[in-house]
Amino acid sequence: MIFKGKYIVFSLFLLTSIFGALFIYMGPKVLETSPGVLQLGIRFSDEFSVAFTQHPKGGPGASLEIFDSEGRLIASHTKLIVGRNLIPIDQDLYNSQIYTFKISSPGYETVILKAENDSRLFNPLDGCEMPNDVSFKPNLLGMKLHLKPADELSF
């Protein structure tokens, strides 16, 4: 049985309308129940050097610590690797206030950033100057960690 072109076009239009209506109807409900996600992209300044090969796949590993406005540790995420890391934003854990992000890795300089949370959305704090090689947009944080100077390394 061969279908004519107009029937195929009509059926595709009908299916698109049905699924579009479902997305419009269910979309806000899904956003209310699903957690937000912070995308944290990490690169290392020496990752293309021969010395970097001493680390396992994914690099030396980094950690993200999130502190509230009173300095209490709210969340800690370890074993972050080179590239994109997805950090869940639990609405019960984070309320609308200012947070401090501390990103560190052994042998690399620590990066400290201020952010504000507004309904599962982390934004850079207005007027806060970003360090070099750091890009911070809503729920998207990218950075390059630089090696510590030789005089700061301790063995």
- Tell me: the pLDDT tens digits for 93-136? 888 789 999 999 999 999 999 999 877 788 888 887 888 889 99
For the stretch 45-54, pLDDT in tens is 988 888 888 8
E strand intervals along the chain: 36-44, 62-67, 73-80, 83-89, 98-104, 111-117, 122-124, 134-137, 140-145
**Do 69 and 22 share a structural domain?**
no
**Do 52 and 16 share a structural domain?**
no
Domain that holds residue 87: 35-150
**Do 60 and 29 share a structural domain?**
no
**Do 46 and 23 share a structural domain?**
no
Model pTM score:
0.71
**Do 77 and 29 share a structural domain?**
no
